[in-house]
């Protein structure tokens, strides 16, 4: 006998998670980046919470979704208990994902400057070409001073944002089908679009993990996602443009210089 899935018995959590994310954003006190002695505040607590809630939720959603059956990939779990367990894992990940995503989205609305720093500028294509050219050792290029986020990261951000929006919309439709009658024609479109958006997120998340966590050159930034800080030396070398912005608002004595190689 099949047991009740969390998608059926606790559907209300899917609606509560976005509400809690927006509420958390409204109650959060944000801290702007600044130089503090020999280190620089890069991420405040809300930024770290949104990053890990969204990121871990995404990874688990992708893993459980692939295991359940994804586009042309058949289910890897067979039938019965393994499928039910994977569905429940998918549900829990969806709750965490929605909380982190709406927390971040509400923060972006409340503080548009934080969204703007993620968006590509007119230098995006050229800087991205240089970034990966240097990273892969193809050419000897001079990398202009980058700001808080590399232009290559900003281009990838658009991919992640698009995938996230589509996943949220189609995912909520799929959840709604557990509580009400959704037209079969709409569901016939929703499921493949949901899977295609998941594929887009896979194409984003794999390089993000490699360049953001695996390569040693990225470890200072990875640590900052736990501690909130990077060293002044690291910021000076890899994000000179950003450090100069901070210096212009605070510590004018912090020297900056151009870097000739990018960090992952």
Give the domain CATH number at 21.
Answer: 1.20.950.20
Residue 198 lies in a domain: yes
Residue 102's SS3 state is: helix
pLDDT at residue 250 in the model: 39
pLDDT at residue 263 in the model: 38
Domain count, the chain: 1
Report the greatest alpha carbon distance in the chain.
70
pLDDT tens digit string along 85-138?
999 999 999 999 999 999 999 999 998 888 889 998 888 888 877 777 776 666
pLDDT at residue 153 in the model: 86
Residue 144 lies in a domain: yes
Spatial CA neighbour of 41 closest among 243, 219, 213, 217: 243
Say if residue 21's pLDDT is above 90: yes
The dihedral built from the CA positions of residue 173, 178, 184 and 189, taken in this order, carries a sign that is positive
The dihedral built from the CA positions of residue 41, 44, 50 and 55, taken in this order, carries a sign that is positive
The mean pLDDT of 202-229, rounded to a whole number, is: 91
Structure tokens at 239: 């994000």
The boundaries of the domain holding residue 29 are 6-249
pTM of the predicted protein model: 0.86
- The size of the chain, in residues, is 264
- 12 confidence band (pLDDT: 50, 70, 90): very high
Structure tokens at 9: 């018995």
Residue 1 lies in a domain: no
pLDDT tens digit string along 242-254?
998 887 433 444 4
**8 A C-beta contact, residue 143 and residue 259:** yes
Residue 256 lies in a domain: no
pLDDT tens digit string along 64-90?
999 998 888 888 888 888 999 999 999
Distances (CA, A) of 209 to 55, 131, 136: 10, 17, 17
């Amino acid at each position: 006998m099949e047991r009740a899935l969390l998608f059926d018995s606790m559907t209300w959590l899917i609606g509560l998670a976005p509400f809690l994310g927006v509420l958390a954003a409204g109650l959060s006190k944000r801290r702007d980046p600044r130089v503090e002695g020999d280190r620089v505040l890069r991420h405040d607590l809300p930024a770290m919470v949104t990053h890990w809630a969204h990121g871990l939720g995404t990874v688990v959603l992708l893993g459980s979704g692939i295991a359940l059956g994804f586009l042309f990939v058949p289910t890897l779990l067979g039938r019965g208990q393994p499928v039910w367990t994977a569905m429940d894992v998918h549900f829990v990940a969806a709750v965490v994902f929605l909380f982190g995503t709406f927390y971040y989205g509400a923060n972006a609305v409340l503080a548009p400057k934080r969204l703007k720093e993620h968006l590509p500028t007119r230098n995006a294509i050229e800087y991205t070409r240089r970034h990966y050219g240097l990273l892969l050792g193809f050419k000897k290029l001079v990398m202009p001073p980058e700001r808080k986020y590399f232009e290559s990261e900003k281009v990838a951000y658009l991919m992640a944002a698009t995938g996230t929006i589509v996943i949220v919309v189609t995912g909520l439709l799929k959840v709604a089908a557990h509580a009400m009658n959704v037209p079969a024609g709409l569901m016939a479109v929703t499921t493949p679009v949901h899977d295609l958006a998941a594929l887009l997120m896979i194409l984003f998340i794999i390089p993000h993990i490699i360049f953001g966590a695996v390569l040693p050159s990225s470890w200072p930034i990875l640590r900052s996602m736990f501690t909130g800080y990077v060293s002044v030396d690291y910021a000076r070398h890899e994000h000179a443009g950003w450090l100069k912005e901070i210096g212009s608002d605070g510590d004018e004595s912090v020297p900056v210089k151009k870097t000739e190689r990018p960090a992952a």
